[in-house]
Structure 1
């Protein structure tokens, strides 16, 4: 027994093969009509540099509070969309504070060498 022959719908078929594209309204930008060209929107943040995975031990309560903050503020202005974004933003603010207090308001240069690992001195 052979499979039935597959046929595409012809011109008289009620099935239409043309796409019906509907506009999507996200609330982020004004809808674009075909007559109106899309405007280029400047990026809100500077160009992202590569990320690297980093393992850090955090207090359990601190990490859980941070995760809850992300969940409650992800959709709000000024909120963070991920735990990594919150940690990144917090580190940026703390590095700026440390530079202002201890480095004459000059940002610290990236470390080009190694970084000591293991137990802290005096422990």
Structure 2
């Protein structure tokens, strides 16, 4: 049920939003990966304080500089997924995962997050950074 709510939230946000979608738990995180081609996830915690806050602000400012759509050109041979940034088609979704919540422990372990803030970039669910 939470995955459906997250999916509806992602659709409602629209094409070019710099607002973070807060995910709680593995199911919501996985739903975001499945429903969005480009995802930038910020792993932070409330106790992280000013550093995590500054990271979130920097991500939002950078996202405003990107085109409203991002997409890879898979029909051409020799094109890398990161070349997708040159020919846009899908929106970038910003996720925020609170590492201080027990519900997110499984996601943190699976994604290899040990320190905050951690920023991961995903294309089609695969981590690139």
Bucket of the pairwise TM-score, normalised by the shorter protein = under 0.3
Rg: which structure is higher?
1
More helix by share: 2
Normalised by the size of structure 2, how large is the TM-score? 0.22
Identify which of structures 1 and 2 has the higher relative contact order when contacts are C-alpha pairs closer than 8 Å and 6+ apart. Answer: 2
- The alignment's TM-score, normalised by the length of structure 1, stands at 0.23
